[in-house]
A and B are shown apart, each in its own frame.
Chain A
Amino acid sequence: MPLDLDPATLGEEFDRAVYGPVTADELVAFARALGAPSCYTEPGPDLVAHPTFCVSYRGHKFFPDNLPPSLRSRMSFDAGKDVELGAPIRPGDTVTVVSTLHDVYEKTGRSGTMVFVVVRFTLTNQRGERVATVDNRLMYRGER
């Protein structure tokens, strides 16, 4: 495990945030901003959120308190997201975002050593259905 991270930290919940209820107006506004098709922009009983709406959610804090200090004090940049969709988000839903540290790994490339931190958001609705799993990948430059 790089950076002397305690492996037990992986998968441990470090934040829980609850949002909602979701309104039809915000779903429609989001979809219109994307230029999404009418099935995401017409209010009515069949309205569901555009699939990418789930990435607008985040926890109250982005990193666990026990992330190695060498990373907490440094700049990182967004290295992409993996999104696995579940039940659609509908107007009236309450969405709970549970944050876990999913992975920390190193790699080397043309520009040197990099450290990747993957923070997972697991989104569920008020029925306990999984709405989405969002893996947020952050890249740090390695120690020089």
Chain B
Amino acid sequence: MILDLHLHSDRSDDSRAPVEAYLKILQRKRAERPLDGIVLTEHRQFDPARDFRTLEDRYGLLILNAAEVETDYGHVLVYGVNDAILARFDFANVRLPAQELIREVARLGGIALPCHPGRPTVGLCAHYATKPPLEGVVAVEALNGGSRKGEDARTQELIARHGYRAFGGSDSHLVSFVGVCATEFDAEIRSMDDLVRALRGGRYRPMDFRERGGVATAGTIT
């Protein structure tokens, strides 16, 4: 099962992509990007009332809701957001304490995973250069569709050094970028609970669909 674990819709301040437009692209490009679903990760917010069932039925794709927050170690994706997590952390705060976030989100039933670690200023690598490594990091986003030259390579060094698991996401803010990077899971995922369980379990790998101009061959990294 392949999911894009990181993308933004027009709910984020820097995206103008309607959710349905992402689904139309995935439907049209199924041969090049054979995804089974997407996980929306809006910046600094989480709306528990979002309901995608109608769109899921119409397009036959899984749509899950998560968040991308900003911390003192860079940006972090939070999956399995619930009332307890929202009560514990103000997602609009751009200086959230990463160590506390990772520990507390895990304790409260979710999982917090650093994204685009190789990115300057907002990636884990930049912060590890001056601060101690975080404890409890399960995985990092090894492939990010918005990475510039060298950023994903820096992430590979980080993974090799710390033994983190790896996943992928498009970080799409534009409709056409959806699914260019994604994550393949061995397990069947039908809900956010399934996703959190799978991410903790570790039987997944990042997928790169950008190669060869987006033609059907998928690249993987280990």
Q: Which of B71-104 contact A (CB under 8 A)?
A: 74-75, 92, 94
Least CB separation from A103: chain B residue: B13
Q: Is B122 among interface residues, defined by CB-CB distance under 8 A?
A: yes
Q: Are A110 and B122 in contact (CB under 8 A)?
A: yes
Count contacts between A and B, CB distance < 8 Å.
27
> Given contacts A105-B92, A106-B94, are A111 and B13 in contact (CB under 8 A)?
no
Q: Are B13 and A108 in contact (CB under 8 A)?
A: no
Q: Are B121 and A110 in contact (CB under 8 A)?
A: yes
Least CB separation from B120: chain A residue: A110
Q: Which of A86-144 contact B (CB under 8 A)?
A: 105-113, 116
Tell me the bound Cα distance from A110 to B70 in angstroms. Answer: 12
In this complex, which of A108, A111, A113, A116 has the most chain B Cβ atoms within 10 angstroms of its Cβ? A108
Q: Are B121 and A107 in contact (CB under 8 A)?
A: no
Q: Is B119 among interface residues, defined by CB-CB distance under 8 A?
A: yes
Q: From residue A99, how far is it (CB to closest CB) to chain B in Å? A: 20
Q: Is B43 among interface residues, defined by CB-CB distance under 8 A?
A: yes
Which residues of the other chain, A, contact B44 by a CB distance below 8 angstroms? 105, 107
Q: Are A111 and B43 in contact (CB under 8 A)?
A: no
Tell me the bound Cα distance from A105 to B44 in angstroms. Answer: 10
Q: Are B119 and A113 in contact (CB under 8 A)?
A: no
Tell me the bound Cα distance from A106 to B44 in angstroms. Answer: 10
Tell me the bound Cα distance from A80 to B43 in angstroms. Answer: 18
Q: From residue B189, how far is it (CB to closest CB) to chain A in Å? A: 30
Tell me the bound Cα distance from A107 to B74 in angstroms. Answer: 11
Least CB separation from B71: chain A residue: A108
Tell me the bound Cα distance from A108 to B74 in angstroms. Answer: 8
Q: From residue B146, how far is it (CB to closest CB) to chain A in Å? A: 10
Which residues of the other chain, B, contact A108 by a CB distance below 8 angstroms? 70, 74-75, 94, 121-122
Q: From residue A93, how far is it (CB to closest CB) to chain B in Å? A: 29
Q: Are A110 and B119 in contact (CB under 8 A)?
A: yes
Tell me the bound Cα distance from A116 to B122 in angstroms. Answer: 18
Q: State which of A2, A105, A106, A111 has its C-beta within 8 Å of the C-beta of B121.
A: A111
Which residues of the other chain, A, contact B43 by a CB distance below 8 angstroms? 107
Which residues of the other chain, B, contact A112 by a CB distance below 8 angstroms? 121
Q: From residue A56, how far is it (CB to closest CB) to chain B in Å? A: 22
Least CB separation from B14: chain A residue: A107
Q: From residue B150, how far is it (CB to closest CB) to chain A in Å? A: 12
Tell me the bound Cα distance from A109 to B75 in angstroms. Answer: 9
> Given contacts A110-B122, A111-B121, are A116 and B13 in contact (CB under 8 A)?
yes
Q: Which of B117-151 contact A (CB under 8 A)?
A: 119-122
Tell me the bound Cα distance from A109 to B116 in angstroms. Answer: 11
Tell me the bound Cα distance from A106 to B119 in angstroms. Answer: 19
Subset of 26 A-B contacts with CB under 8 Å = A2-B94, A105-B13, A105-B44, A105-B92, A106-B94, A107-B13, A107-B43, A107-B44, A107-B70, A107-B94, A108-B70, A108-B74, A108-B75, A108-B94, A108-B121, A108-B122, A109-B121, A109-B122, A110-B119, A110-B120, A110-B121, A111-B120, A111-B121, A112-B121, A113-B94, A116-B13
Which B residues are within 8 Å of any A CB, using their own CB?
Answer: 13, 43-44, 70, 74-75, 92, 94, 119-122
If A107-B43, A110-B119, A111-B120 are given as contacts, then 7 extra A-B residue pairs at C-beta distance below 8 Å, sorted by A number, are A105-B13, A107-B13, A107-B70, A108-B74, A108-B122, A112-B121, A116-B13
